[in-house]
């Protein structure tokens, strides 16, 4: 039994392997490693829902593109498939939306940190998103009631700004968007 577990940890998976998973759990594939993603807790879901509502309204009113929420696969390559909490694809890049997944880098990815995802979201995925060219990356930190916005420059992320719960978030990518974070973090 221990040998099977060890083989699972060391086996490199591909997108084809990933698609064959038949259980009801959520998975991501990062650098060929298959990682299970537990379902989000209630606070995570509330924050995600509030952000999605505000973003969807703004994007629709301004005809800017499409917004998707997890679980929805973003296929970067055969060894990297993730399910961001929220992702935006601009109107001029809608061609990367396929029948089953997004094939390429979204313009904006938002990850909401949970107890089990901090390292994955703040380190692994941050590097992955930069490598594949996601222009803007938001990390939502419920415990600290803040959102960090990173912008891509020379294939690495630079902190644009960290917004606390009393702030009005503004996105460099989505000009004109203003989000009062008090509304996002209050129950």
- In order of start, what are the domains of the chain with their CATH numbers? 40-185 (3.90.1570.10)
Q: What is the mean pLDDT of residues 147-156?
A: 96
- The answer to whether residues 87 and 118 touch, using CB atoms and an 8 Å cutoff, is no
74-77 and 146-153: which strand pairing? unpaired
How far does Cα 31 stand from its chain's mean position?
16
Say which residues have a Cβ less than 8 Å from residue 182's Cβ, sequence separation at least 6: 165, 166
- pLDDT value at 184 more than 60: yes
Confidence band (pLDDT; 50, 70, 90) for 27? Answer: confident
* pLDDT exceeds 50 at position 136: yes
Does the pLDDT of residue 1 top 50, yes or no? Answer: no
What is the value of pTM for the model shown? 0.86
Strand order in the sheet with 80-82: 33-37, 26-30, 80-82, 74-77, 102-103
The confidence score (pLDDT) of residue 8 equals 52
Binned at pLDDT 50, 70 and 90, residue 36 comes out as confident
pLDDT at 40 (0 to 100): 82
Burial 135-160 (b: 16+ CB within 10 A, else e): bbbbbbbbeebbbbbbebeeeebeeb
Two structure tokens written together for 148: 């960090």
- What CA–CA distance (Å, rounded) separates 132 from 102? 13
Range of 19-23, 30-34, 78-82, 107-111 with top mean pLDDT: 107-111
Q: Which of 17-21, 67-71, 102-106, 144-148 has the lowest mean pLDDT?
A: 17-21
Query: With 80 as the cut, is the pLDDT of residue 9 above it?
Result: no
């Amino acid at each position: 039994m221990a040998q099977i577990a060890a083989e699972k940890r060391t086996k490199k998976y591909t997108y084809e392997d990933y698609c064959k998973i038949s259980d009801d759990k959520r998975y991501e594939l990062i650098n060929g490693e298959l990682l299970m993603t537990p379902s989000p807790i209630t606070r995570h879901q509330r924050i995600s829902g509030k952000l999605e509502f505000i973003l969807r309204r703004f994007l629709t009113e301004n005809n800017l593109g499409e917004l998707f929420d997890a679980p929805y696969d973003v296929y970067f390559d055969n060894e990297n498939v993730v399910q961001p909490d929220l992702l935006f694809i601009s109107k001029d890049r809608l061609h990367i939306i396929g029948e089953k997944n997004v094939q390429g880098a979204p313009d904006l990815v938002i990850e909401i940190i949970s107890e089990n995802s901090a390292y994955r979201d703040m380190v692994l995925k941050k590097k992955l998103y930069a490598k594949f060219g996601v222009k803007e990356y938001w990390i939502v930190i419920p415990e600290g009631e803040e959102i960090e916005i990173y912008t891509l420059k020379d294939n690495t992320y630079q902190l644009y700004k960290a917004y606390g719960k009393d702030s009005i978030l503004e996105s460099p990518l989505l000009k004109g968007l203003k989000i009062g974070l008090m509304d996002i973090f209050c129950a």
